[in-house]
Amino acid sequence: MAETTRVAVIGAGGWGYQHARAFFEREDTELVAIAGRNPEKTAKRAAAFGTKPYTDIDQMLQAEKPDLVSICLPAQHNFEVTLNVIEKGFPVFAEKPLAYRLEHGRAMIDAAQRKGLFFAIDFEQKYSIPCLKAQEAIRAGRLGTPVFALWRFGHGWESVMDHPHMNLIEAQCHGINMLETLCGRIRSVSAEMTDTGGKGSFASFSLALRFENGAVGSFLATVDADEHNRLSQLIEIGGTKGRILIEDNVRRYSFQEKGSDTEEVWQAGFFDDDGRRFNKNLDRYLDDMLPALREGRRPPVPAEEGLRALEIAYAAIESFETGRRVEV
């Protein structure tokens, strides 16, 4: 593959804008097209980035023949589009969640594997500087054996939700993926959920987790909170040698060795705007992903991780509905 990767973005919504921005700003990519459903909105978005608008995806694929197709559509309606792109033989970079239905997620994975295609998913939160530092510390053995893990994320969602488990599947798949990245595979899950916030969905839930390595975990999530609150998102990983804290994903990382009364801290410096900006997680992810695509390697975050998060979400749903712990 050439050093410049030609990318088409499908989706002209909010996070589709971030994909278009990231590919437009890079020196090693060319944004060749933006495809959307609304002609006026799509034309306006394409004009902003000096590229071509399309409302017919098949026409766009045939005309542009991109090296990578970035798909940023509402996840409840992305299956047919994503499967079509895969079946036509184009590498895919999909937004999270992979799907809402397990059979859809499995069908996309199977199709990509059958064709030997590059198929990545955008779990970009683990490319924040604090999360990268946490992964580095764990790989270096500084944490020791993981003992416990905590994920907490409370943010706001003003509108009525059109799926009973929208928070679990759509918003919190990042947390499921992050805990497995930092602590290893989850073995079992037990869930409690509530819909008292009036959004027509189980907007708040808690999970009790057991990992394959013996560690335990706690997962607390809600969309009846406010992301303007400090520590709306928190990750805590405890091990036999120390503890890691990640605050608000991009805000702060700390490591404290067991028995020490001091801690090591990273937080973005005064002029380090990129370090504290959430959308720059995507740019750091692309720094890792695009070389893998060009060199024919496996994606650093393969779409199988999206299917894994969906499988754990459905185990949590089963646990809540049956009142028992569910093995994953």
Taken in order of first residue, the domains within the chain and their CATH numbers are 5-123 (3.40.50.720), 125-277+310-327 (3.30.360.10)
Ramachandran bin of 172, using left for φ above 0, alpha for ψ from -120 to 50, beta for the remaining angles? alpha
242-247/146-154 β-pairing: unpaired
Contacts of 73 (CB under 8 A, 6+ apart): 10, 11, 13, 16, 81, 82, 95
Residue 22 in tokens = 């990231």
Residue 61 in tokens = 């694929």
How confident is the model over 202-215, as a mean pLDDT? 97
Q: Taking Cα atoms as reference points, which of 142, 8, 120, 1 lies closest to residue 63?
A: 8
- Please give the mean pLDDT across all residues of the chain: 95
Residue 227 in tokens = 């992301």
The pLDDT assigned to 226 comes to 86
Statement: residue 46 has pLDDT above 90: yes
Q: Are 232 and 226 in contact (CB under 8 A)?
A: yes
Contacts of 104 (CB under 8 A, 6+ apart): 79
User: What's the pLDDT band for 151 if we cut at 50, 70, 90?
Assistant: very high
CA atoms within 13 A on the CB side of 319: 21
Statement: residue 198 has pLDDT above 80: no
Statement: residue 196 has pLDDT above 90: no
How confident is the model over 18-26, as a mean pLDDT? 97
Residue type, 214: G
- What percent of the chain has a predicted confidence (pLDDT) above 70? 99
Q: Taking Cα atoms as reference points, which of 232, 240, 224, 138 lies closest to residue 179?
A: 138
Q: Are 68 and 93 in contact (CB under 8 A)?
A: yes
The pLDDT assigned to 77 comes to 87
Give pLDDT tens digits for 69-100. Answer: 999 998 888 999 999 999 999 999 999 999 99
Contacts of 286 (CB under 8 A, 6+ apart): 22, 23, 26, 29
Report how far apart, in Å, the C-alpha atoms of 140 and of each of 133, 185, 282 are.
11, 19, 25
Give pLDDT tens digits for 276-328. Answer: 999 999 999 999 999 999 999 999 999 999 999 999 999 999 999 999 999 99
Residue 138, φ and ψ in degrees, nearest 5: -70, -45
Q: Are 326 and 190 in contact (CB under 8 A)?
A: yes
Report how far apart, in Å, the C-alpha atoms of 310 and of each of 84, 122, 153, 176, 240 are.
21, 14, 18, 9, 30
